[in-house]
Amino acid sequence: MYRRDGSVALRGSSAPLYNNLSVLRPPHKPAACLGTVHGHAVTVVTAGGDAAGSAQRQLQPRAGGGASLVTQAAWCVLPARILLVLTCQKGIEMYESDGSIMVYWHALDVTEHPPGKSAAGTQSGAPWEHKLCLPEGSLQQANVSSAWRPPSTSSSHPCAGMSSGMVLVFDIPHKGTNITVSEVLKEHHDPITDIAAELGQAPDGAGDLVTADDAGTLCVWGSAEDFALLTRIPGFGWTCSSVKLWNGLIAAGYGSGQIRLYEAGTGALRAEVSAHARWIYALDLAPATGQLLSGAEDSFVHVWKICRNPDTDDVEMEHCHAECVTDTQICGARFCDPDGNSFAVTGYDLSEIFRYSRV
Amino acid sequence: MSARTLPLLFLNLGGEMLYILDQRLRAQSIPGEKARKDEWTDVDRKRVMNDIITTMFNKKFMEELFKPQELYSKKALRTVYDRLAHASIMRLNQASMDKLYDLMTMAFKYQVLLCPRPKDILLVTFNHLDAIKDFICDSPGILNQVDETFRQLIEVSIFLKDKVQNSNGRFVLPTSGPVPWGTEVPGLIRMFNRNGDEVKRAEFTTGGNYVTPQREGSFELYGDRVLKLGTNMYSVSRPAETHTSGSSKTLASSTKENIVPNPLAKEELNFLARLLGGLEIKKPGGSETGFRLNLFTTDEEEEYA
C-alpha cells in the first residue's frame, strides 16, 4: 500500500510528453532532484524533506539563439560526474547536475546528419531551416554504468534518440567539456521514444541497452566494445512509449495500455499484461526489488513486481498496487528510491508533482 | 509534430465555431415577420452559416490547407478565424470574438485529450463535418465542397497526437466505459515460458470499470462514428455556460507566451492574407444593413467595465 504524502507545487505544469518526470537518484542517497518539462523550460525541484524546504528553478535552453521547445530532461549518473541533459528542438544541451553551468551544446541541423560537431559548435542558418527540421529529441539516461552498478565499469555513454530514428552516443570524459559524439546508431526508422540501460546485472550476451520507437520496434544493443545490435523485437501496431531493462528482462509500455516483458537476449515474450485502459506514458523500475511502476492517460498508476525464479527460469509478474490520480492524464512517474518504497507522479495540466510512499 | 496536422486543427476548430454561432444565432433570432430591419431572423442565420461554410471550404483554400506544412502560429490561426467569422453579414466585437475563440479551443482541446486513440481524431473531425453538412443540407453546391474535403481526409490516413498546450482547466476523466478499439480491458496478466507457451494467468483489480468496445467507428463518407467527441454539444438545450472570462484570465497568468518574436509569423500572416484575400468578403452595403451580434450577454458589461 502506498499513500500520497505530499506534493510539490510547480510554477508551471507538465507538458504531455512521454516520461515527463526525471528523478536524480545519486548512488546510495535519497532522491535529490525532480525535473519536469513544460514548453520552453525545465523545472528543477530540489527534493527537500518537506514541501516547504524545496527550492525550485527554471532552466531554459538558450543555445542556438532564441527559445526552443524542450522535449526531455534527464540526469545521467556517470561514474565520476552527474550531468543534466536537455533535448530541445534546436539541439542537445548538457549541464552540471544543478543546471548551473552548460558544459556541452550539440546543434541539430536541418538534415539531421550525424554531425559530430565540436562542443559549442552553434549552427548558423536561416530560421526557416530550423523550423523545417523540428528534430524532436527524446532522451533517456543510457549510461552503461548506471547508478546501481559498481562504478568500476569503464565506459559511460549517455545516448540521445531523435525523431529521425537515429540514436547519438556520447563520450563523456571524467571532467571537463571535451564531450564528443562517439557513435550514431541507425537501426530505427521511426522517432525514438525512449532509451533504457541495464539497471541490474545483465546475463551473458543479453545486451545492456534498449531503444524503443514510435512504431513499437525495440532494439537491444550490446556495448562491450562498440555498440552492436543483438536483437530486434518488432512492434504490433502500437507505439512503445516507455521501456526499462533489468537483469536481462525488458519491460515495455505501449499505446494499447499493455505492458510486455521480453527476454533481452532472445526477444522472447515472457509476459503480457492488459494494464491500462489508455495510452501508457511512463514506466519505471526499482532495481533493488524489481518493482515496476506504470502510469497512463487513464489516470491510473500501477505498481507491479517482477521476478525471475532462478531454479525454473520462470518469469513471474504480479500486481501490487493501483492508484487513481483523479482526472489526471499521467505523463510522468518515477520511483524515488532503489527499493521502490516511494514514487512521484506528474500529469498534464497538473501544476504539482504528487509524491507517494509505502505505508 | 506531423506536417499534416493543420487541416485537422482548422476543420475541428471551424466546426466548433459553427456550433457556437448556430446556437447563439438561434437564441437571438426573431420570427421573420416580426423582425425590425436591424434584428436577426432565421433567414439571416442561414445566410451567415452558408457564407461562413462556403468560405471555409473554398476549393483553393482547402488545397493549400492539405499541403504538408507546419502549423500556423497561434496568432496566425486566430487571424484566420477572425476573418472567417466575418465572412458574412455578421459582425462580432472583440470581446465576443475572444470568447468565441476561447470556447472553440477549449472544446477541441477536450476532444483531443480524451481521444481514445490517435486515429480517433479522424472520427472527431468526421463528426464535425457530418454536423456541418446538416447545417447546409439545403445547398447542394456547398455540400459538394464539404464532401470533397471529406474525401481528401479519408485518403490521408493521419496518425496524430496533437500536443497543443493551453492550460485552461481540468477535464473530467471517466474511469469506466469502453476501452479504445483494438485494446483489452485491463485486469489480466499472462506469462509465457521460453518457448512461447502460456504457462500462467493472473487477474487483478484495476480500480476502473471498463468494458470492451462494441464496434469501431466508421471512417467512410457516411456512417456511425460511434465516438461522441466532436458532435454538437450546444444542440441540447442546457443552461449555456458561456462566461469564460475567468478561465481566460487564469490562462493569461499561467501560460507563458513565447515573447520572442517569430520571424516566420509575418510570412505566415502574409500567406494567409493572400489566401483569404482572394476570397470574397461580403461587405454590408446599399440596401443591406450590417448586423452586429453580441454573442454573450456579458459583452456589454465588459465593454463598459
At position A258, the amino acid (one-letter code) is Q
Of A255, A276, A299, the CB nearest to B173: A299
Find cell 546543434 and name the residue. A107
Predicted local confidence at residue B120, as pLDDT? 86
- pLDDT, tens digit, for every residue of A111-138? 443 333 332 222 322 222 222 222 334 4
Q: How far apart are CA A115 and CA A64, in angstroms?
A: 15
Predicted local confidence at residue B171, as pLDDT? 73
Of the two residues A132 and B73, the one the predictor is more confident about is B73
What confidence tier does B215 reach under pLDDT thresholds 50, 70, 90? confident
Predicted local confidence at residue A271, as pLDDT? 97
- pLDDT, tens digit, for every residue of A315-359? 999 999 999 998 899 999 999 999 999 999 999 989 999 999 999
By mean pLDDT, which of A261-270, B144-153, B221-230, B275-284 is the weakest? Answer: B275-284
What confidence tier does B267 reach under pLDDT thresholds 50, 70, 90? low
Predicted local confidence at residue A140, as pLDDT? 40
What confidence tier does B268 reach under pLDDT thresholds 50, 70, 90? low
Predicted local confidence at residue B159, as pLDDT? 36
- Cross-chain residue pair A271–B189, CB shorter than 8 Å: yes
- What's the whole-number average pLDDT of chain A? 82
> Cβ-count burial of B172 within 10 angstroms (0-12 exposed, 13-18 middle, 19+ buried)?
exposed
Of A15, A67, A278, the CB nearest to B258: A67
By C-alpha distance, the chain A residue nearest B262 is A127
B9-12 LR contacts (CB < 8 Å, sep 24+): B9/B71, B9/B77, B9/B108, B9/B162, B9/B164, B10/B65, B10/B77, B10/B80, B11/B125, B11/B128, B11/B129, B11/B149, B11/B153, B12/B108, B12/B111, B12/B124, B12/B125, B12/B128, B12/B230
A139-154 per-residue burial string, b: 16 or more CB within 10 A, e: under 16: bbbbbbbbbbbeeeee
ipTM over 0.85: no
Residue B128 phi/psi, 5-degree rounding, is -65, -45
Q: Could you state, in order of their start, the residue ranges of all structural domains in chain B?
A: 5-166+220-304
What confidence tier does B170 reach under pLDDT thresholds 50, 70, 90? low
Predicted local confidence at residue A29, as pLDDT? 72
Contacts of A328 in chain B (CB under 8 A): 170, 173
How many inter-chain contacts (A to B, CB under 8 Å) are there?
136
Predicted local confidence at residue A325, as pLDDT? 94
Instruction: Look at residue B183 and tell me whether its pLDDT is greater than 70.
Output: yes
N-terminal to C-terminal alpha carbon distance within chain A: 6
CATH T-level fold of A2-358: Methylamine Dehydrogenase; Chain H (2.130.10)
DSSP A281-296: EEEEEETTTTEEEEEE
What confidence tier does A156 reach under pLDDT thresholds 50, 70, 90? low
Percent of the residues in chain A that have a pLDDT greater than 70, as a whole number: 84
According to DSSP, the residues that pair with A183 across neighbouring strands are: A169
Mean pLDDT for B180-191 is 94
Mean pLDDT for A91-95 is 88
Q: How far apart are CA A245 and CA A196, in angstroms?
A: 6
Contacts of B173 in chain A (CB under 8 A): 298-299, 326-329
What confidence tier does B158 reach under pLDDT thresholds 50, 70, 90? very low
Q: How far apart are CA B255 and CA B244, in angstroms?
A: 16
Instruction: Look at residue A152 and tell me whether its pLDDT is greater than 70.
Output: no
- pLDDT, tens digit, for every residue of B7-44? 889 999 999 999 999 998 888 877 766 777 777 788 88
By mean pLDDT, which of B18-22, B38-42, B124-128, B210-214 is the weakest? Answer: B38-42
Residue B3 phi/psi, 5-degree rounding, is -85, 5
What confidence tier does B218 reach under pLDDT thresholds 50, 70, 90? confident
Mean pLDDT for B185-191 is 95
Predicted local confidence at residue A142, as pLDDT? 39
Predicted local confidence at residue A319, as pLDDT? 96
The alpha-carbon gap from A98 to the nearest alpha carbon of chain B, in Å, equals: 23
Query: Which candidate in B176, B184, B257, B266 is best for mutational testing of the A interface (most A CBs within 10 A)?
Result: B184
What confidence tier does B133 reach under pLDDT thresholds 50, 70, 90? very high
- pLDDT, tens digit, for every residue of A260-274? 999 999 999 999 999
Of the two residues A55 and A343, the one the predictor is more confident about is A343
Cell reading at B193: 515460458
Mean pLDDT for A62-80 is 82
Predicted local confidence at residue B186, as pLDDT? 95
- pLDDT, tens digit, for every residue of A163-216? 888 888 888 888 888 888 888 999 999 989 999 988 888 888 888 899 999 999
- Cross-chain residue pair A326–B173, CB shorter than 8 Å: yes
Instruction: Look at residue B250 and tell me whether its pLDDT is greater than 80.
Output: no
Mean pLDDT for B145-162 is 66
Percent of the residues in chain B that have a pLDDT greater than 70, as a whole number: 68
- pLDDT, tens digit, for every residue of A277-292? 999 999 999 999 999 9
What confidence tier does A69 reach under pLDDT thresholds 50, 70, 90? confident
Of A17, A136, A274, the CB nearest to B186: A274
- Cross-chain residue pair A269–B204, CB shorter than 8 Å: no
- What's the whole-number average pLDDT of chain B? 75
Contacts of A313 in chain B (CB under 8 A): 194
Most confidently predicted of A51-65, A251-265, B76-90:
A251-265
Predicted local confidence at residue B134, as pLDDT? 92
- pLDDT, tens digit, for every residue of B229-247? 888 777 654 433 333 333 3
Percent of the residues in chain A that have a pLDDT greater than 90, as a whole number: 45
Q: How far apart are CA A352 and CA A325, in angstroms?
A: 12
- Cross-chain residue pair B173–A38, CB shorter than 8 Å: no
Predicted local confidence at residue B211, as pLDDT? 92
Instruction: Look at residue B217 and tell me whether its pLDDT is greater than 50.
Output: yes
